[in-house]
């Protein structure tokens, strides 16, 4: 198999060079003239021909295998004036053209050209949502700041478990099974404890691709989903920024050129710095005392900086770093929680001389440390730190594309925890992973086929995982497209939390353990990895030029999972060699399934925007003894989002979001008893001792909480101060009709803790 793959690779490369020798190519970048920022996902084509391409997340385009001749190179982008340029191509030419777009002087009422729609026909892109800051700002903003965490909650297949300490679960996968990349760097915890905010600054984001399943071989090391987030560069033309404040927090962003980009193009450098924080603990005591008289104890501070160097031909090099902190003080009068994350790295894009290839690479280091101190339990800590690096080559072969690369990752985990029996579970591990991948996109008329292969080596476990992937699309007509994807996936990293835990402020990390049970469900356990198989199928309909319907069905088979063993009561030592594994091992093996259907409908025309999403899903786990539903299994989930711009200048915007979710599972109480542990009572009469309250539990997670629903509203008004300055006022309300949505119930006292009640907010921002 290995020799065959190598032969195929060299055959494709030789074919590429042969093709280049016979024909010509045009490549380059498309920039916004005012700021020098790349214009992404826009059409670049040769007028009155079938030759063209869409720009990628760097603004890069490449049109290859063009017969010699004279052409009109044309660019069309929504919100920009179209441009045309005459080019003459000779045999074997590789022309580089940087294109600069001016913002449109007027807004068209109807736009028929859509790079997004063109991409839908020419890219497989199954189970992926492409998110831009514009889309994030079209939903009501809780706290006044548009945020990725809030937008992810409206995507089909994404389940959000709570406003306070909640997590995101994507198509049946737990948070540890979701890979988050920021400019190629691994981010271990992207969400704050309040649950409404991520660590990312929306105004710095260029694009986010969220793969909910079936992702191809260029991503690995996770078995459920991937978030690939890209930040933009600083303004290359002038000093600019944004200052924002609201009832939840504030933000300052500043950017500008270190070396200004000439109007006709050329080398440049720029910087950008963002600082955002929350003072909700302080402001809530005055504004939201009805929520909690002690205030909402959530605080965070996020720092991010980036310096970009751009060459004359579009090659670029970035340096970036971050420092994210999160503090929860005296949560529910029971615990203090904190985490700190720091990291830095670089990435680059290189355009070689005459070769039809794009070279990209990255190297980064990041660390994350979390600490939870509870009133009635010993402190637990988790730390992970490590590096990741990658190198990727992309060959453009007409409408086809060859992509291959290598990745190297190393991390160290340090974890300490005491379970309910007082048994200490700890781990300190160093781990190295190495991967190589290859994928090829073949376009044959209306059919797109994208096979991929990933080879992942887990050095610390001495285990190799060969993971074939494939994605396909069939354009039935200009408006109807069928698609499918499948693949094998593996990962080493596991969570320091159990899927059976309901409320998780603490979120820790562990390297895949050696101490797994020898058998599971009567079969020998031969692998230490977590593994999954994905199968996705769907259909896209362009109902009109402005309405797109997407329907997908999926099945994820988690054929091996590793979970923290909450029932360990003996040390795993020789003296306990005859005891069952489930009573002495630190970890247990499980399997599981996630399957369902996601439906989304999008309408966008002129002033109006509408997004509707419905998910029907089932998630289960099997631990060798019983099948149970994890606490995030939600059968039905609905999101409706709408916004409209009003006024002659469209400077008013009203947006609304309504979310409905059926109840989460939980374990019912069957009864209470006096619990006497007898520990240390050898010299005393147990009849004279007062025990603690004990609980007789029902079957695991067979109960269901009440349904969840919530309505949010937001109003924005913009005021133009000058050519580059704008003031925006915004006001909104969360949970407008004050729905009492249950977060959890105290089993002993019966006290119910609800999620956020009705909360109003207001804020202002100024850009310059």
Domain 128-671+704-767 CATH class label: mainly beta
Rg, Å, the chain Cα set: 27
Mean model confidence pLDDT for the chain: 87
Q: Between these two residues, 552 and 80, which has the higher pLDDT value?
A: 552
pLDDT of residue 13 exceeding 60, the answer is no
Mean pLDDT of 465-493: 95
Give the model's confidence band at 134: pLDDT under 50 very low, under 70 low, under 90 confident, else very high.
confident
Instruction: Return all residues near 353 (Cβ < 8 A) that are at least 6 apart.
Output: 94
Pair 709, 659: CB distance under 8 Å = yes
Instruction: Return all residues near 49 (Cβ < 8 A) that are at least 6 apart.
Output: 71
Cβ atoms < 10 Å from Cβ of 627: 12
SS3 for 196-217 is: CCECCCHHHEEEEEEECCCCCC
The pLDDT value recorded for residue 577 is: 73
Pair 223, 532: CB distance under 8 Å = yes
212-216, 378-382, 457-461, 754-758: which has the highest mean pLDDT? 212-216
Pair 537, 597: CB distance under 8 Å = no
Per-residue model confidence as pLDDT tens digits over 406-420: 999 999 998 877 665
Mean pLDDT of 369-377: 78
Q: What is the DSSP string of 309-332?
A: EE-TTS-EEEEEEEEEEEEEEEET
pLDDT of residue 572 exceeding 80, the answer is no
Q: For residues 452 and 9, what is the distance between their CA atoms, to the nearest angstrom?
A: 12
Topology given in CATH for the domain delimited by 2-106:
Immunoglobulin-like (2.60.40)
Per-residue model confidence as pLDDT tens digits over 680-720: 555 666 666 677 778 888 888 899 989 999 999 999 999 99
Pair 201, 272: CB distance under 8 Å = no
The pLDDT value recorded for residue 117 is: 65
Q: For residues 741 and 110, what is the distance between their CA atoms, to the nearest angstrom?
A: 42
Domain residue limits, the chain = 2-106, 128-671+704-767
Lowest mean pLDDT among 30-34, 256-260, 399-403, 564-568: 564-568
SS3 for 116-170 is: HHHHHHHCCCCCEEEECHHHHCCCCCHHHCCCHHHHHCCCCCEEECCCCCCCEEE
Lowest mean pLDDT among 103-107, 518-522, 552-556: 103-107
The pLDDT value recorded for residue 764 is: 94
Per-residue model confidence as pLDDT tens digits over 323-370: 999 998 876 656 788 899 999 999 999 988 777 789 999 999 999 998
The pLDDT value recorded for residue 643 is: 94
Lowest mean pLDDT among 266-270, 421-425, 428-432: 421-425
Lowest mean pLDDT among 110-119, 227-236, 423-432, 528-537: 110-119
2-16, 103-117, 435-449: which has the highest mean pLDDT? 435-449
Q: Between these two residues, 621 and 140, which has the higher pLDDT value?
A: 621
Give the angle 265-271-272 at the CA atoms, nearest 5°: 125
Burial class of residue 429 in the structure, from the number of CB atoms within 10 Å of its CB (0-12 exposed, 13-18 middle, 19+ buried):
middle
pTM, to two decimals: 0.89
Cα four-point dihedral sign 50, 55, 56, 60: positive
Q: How far is CA 332 from the centre of its chain?
A: 29
Mean pLDDT of 275-286: 88
The pLDDT value recorded for residue 34 is: 86
Mean pLDDT of 561-580: 77
Cα four-point dihedral sign 493, 497, 498, 500: negative
pLDDT of residue 214 exceeding 50, the answer is yes
DSSP 224: S
Pair 516, 528: CB distance under 8 Å = yes
Mean pLDDT of 74-80: 84
Q: For residues 535 and 522, what is the distance between their CA atoms, to the nearest angstrom?
A: 27
Burial class of residue 598 in the structure, from the number of CB atoms within 10 Å of its CB (0-12 exposed, 13-18 middle, 19+ buried):
buried
The pLDDT value recorded for residue 375 is: 65
Pair 341, 367: CB distance under 8 Å = yes
Pair 695, 672: CB distance under 8 Å = yes
Mean pLDDT of 3-19: 49
Look at residues 400, 610, 380 and name the one whose alpha carbon lies nearest to residue 498. 380
Determine what percent of the chain is predicted with pLDDT higher than 90. Answer: 51
Cα four-point dihedral sign 203, 204, 207, 210: negative
pLDDT of residue 110 exceeding 60, the answer is no
Look at residues 328, 293, 284, 375 and name the one whose alpha carbon lies nearest to residue 166. 328
Q: Between these two residues, 689 and 219, which has the higher pLDDT value?
A: 219
Give the model's confidence band at 170: pLDDT under 50 very low, under 70 low, under 90 confident, else very high.
very high
Per-residue model confidence as pLDDT tens digits over 598-641: 999 999 988 999 999 999 999 999 988 889 999 899 999 999 99
The pLDDT value recorded for residue 109 is: 43
The pLDDT value recorded for residue 686 is: 64
């Amino acid at each position: 198999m290995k020799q065959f793959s190598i032969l195929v690779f060299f055959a494709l490369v030789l074919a590429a060079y042969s093709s280049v020798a016979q024909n010509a190519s045009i490549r380059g970048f498309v920039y916004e003239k005012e700021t020098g920022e790349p214009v992404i996902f826009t059409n670049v084509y040769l007028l009155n021909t079938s030759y063209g391409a869409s720009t990628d997340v760097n603004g890069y385009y490449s049109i290859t295998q063009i017969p010699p001749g004279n052409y009109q190179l044309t660019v069309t982008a929504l919100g920009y004036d179209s441009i045309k340029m005459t080019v003459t191509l000779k045999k074997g030419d590789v022309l580089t053209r940087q294109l600069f777009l001016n913002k449109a002087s007027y807004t068209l009422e109807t736009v028929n050209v859509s790079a997004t729609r063109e991409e839908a026909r020419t890219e497989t892109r199954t189970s992926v949502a492409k998110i831009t800051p514009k889309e994030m700002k079209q939903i009501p903003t809780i706290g006044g700041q548009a945020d990725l965490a809030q937008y992810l909650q409206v995507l089909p297949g994404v389940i959000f478990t709570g406003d306070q300490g909640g997590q995101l679960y994507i198509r049946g996968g737990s948070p540890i099974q979701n890979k988050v990349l920021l400019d190629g760097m691994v981010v271990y915890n992207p969400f704050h404890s309040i649950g409404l905010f991520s660590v990312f600054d929306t105004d710095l984001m260029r694009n986010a691709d969220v793969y909910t399943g079936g992702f191809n071989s260029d991503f690995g090391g996770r078995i459920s989903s991937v978030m690939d987030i890209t930040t933009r560069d600083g303004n290359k033309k002038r000093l600019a920024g944004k200052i924002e404040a609201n009832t939840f927090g504030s933000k300052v962003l500043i950017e500008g050129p270190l070396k200004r980009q000439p109007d006709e193009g050329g080398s440049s450098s720029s910087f950008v710095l963002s600082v955002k924080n929350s003072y909700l603990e302080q402001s809530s005591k005055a504004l939201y005392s009805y929520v909690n008289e002690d205030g909402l104890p959530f605080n965070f501070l996020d720092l991010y900086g980036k310096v970009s160097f751009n060459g004359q031909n579009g090659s670029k090099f970035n340096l970036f770093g971050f420092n994210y902190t999160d503090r929860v003080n005296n949560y529910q009068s029971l615990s203090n929680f904190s985490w700190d994350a720091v990291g830095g790295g670089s990435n680059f894009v290189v355009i070689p001389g005459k070769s039809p290839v794009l070279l990209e690479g990255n190297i980064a280091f990041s660390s994350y440390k979390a600490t939870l101190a509870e009133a009635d339990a010993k402190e637990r800590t988790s730390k992970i730190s490590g590096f990741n690096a990658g190198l990727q080559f992309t060959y453009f072969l007409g409408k086809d594309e060859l992509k291959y690369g290598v990745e190297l990752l190393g991390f160290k985990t340090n974890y300490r925890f005491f379970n309910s029996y007082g048994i200490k579970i700890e781990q300190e591990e160093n781990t190295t992973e190495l991967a190589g991948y290859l994928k090829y996109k073949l376009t044959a008329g209306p059919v797109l086929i994208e096979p991929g292969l990933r080879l992942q080596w887990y050095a610390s476990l001495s285990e190799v995982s060969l993971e074939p992937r494939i994605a396909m699309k069939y354009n039935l007509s200009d408006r109807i497209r069928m698609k499918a994807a499948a693949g094998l996936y593996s990962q080493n990293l596991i969570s320091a939390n159990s899927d059976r835990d309901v409320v998780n402020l603490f979120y820790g990390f562990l390297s895949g353990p050696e101490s797994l049970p020898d058998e599971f469900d009567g079969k020998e356990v031969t692998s230490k990895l977590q593994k999954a198989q994905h199968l996705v199928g769907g259909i896209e309909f362009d109902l009109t030029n402005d309405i797109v319907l997407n329907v997908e069905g999926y099945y994820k088979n988690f054929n091996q999972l590793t979970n923290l063993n909450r029932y360990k009561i003996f040390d795993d030592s020789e003296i306990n060699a005859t005891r069952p594994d489930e009573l002495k091992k630190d970890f247990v093996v499980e399997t599981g399934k996630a399957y369902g259907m996601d439906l989304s409908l999008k309408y966008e025309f002129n002033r109006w925007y509408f997004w509707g999403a419905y998910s029907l899903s089932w998630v289960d786990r099997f631990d060798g003894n019983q099948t149970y539903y994890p606490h995030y299994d939600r059968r039905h989930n609905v999101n409706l989002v709408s916004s409209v711009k009003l006024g002659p200048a469209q400077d008013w915007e009203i947006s609304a979001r309504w979310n409905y979710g059926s109840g989460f599972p939980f374990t019912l109480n069957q009864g209470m008893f006096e619990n006497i542990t007898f520990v240390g009572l050898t010299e005393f009469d147990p009849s004279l001792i007062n025990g603690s309250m004990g609980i007789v539990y029902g079957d695991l997670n067979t109960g269901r909480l009440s349904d969840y629903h919530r309505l949010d509203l937001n109003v924005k008004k913009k005021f133009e101060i000058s050519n580059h300055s704008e003031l925006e006022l915004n006001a909104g309300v969360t949970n407008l009709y004050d729905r009492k949505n249950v977060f959890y119930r105290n089993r002993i006292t019966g006290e119910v803790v609800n999620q956020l009640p009705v909360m109003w907010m207001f804020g202002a921002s100024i850009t310059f």
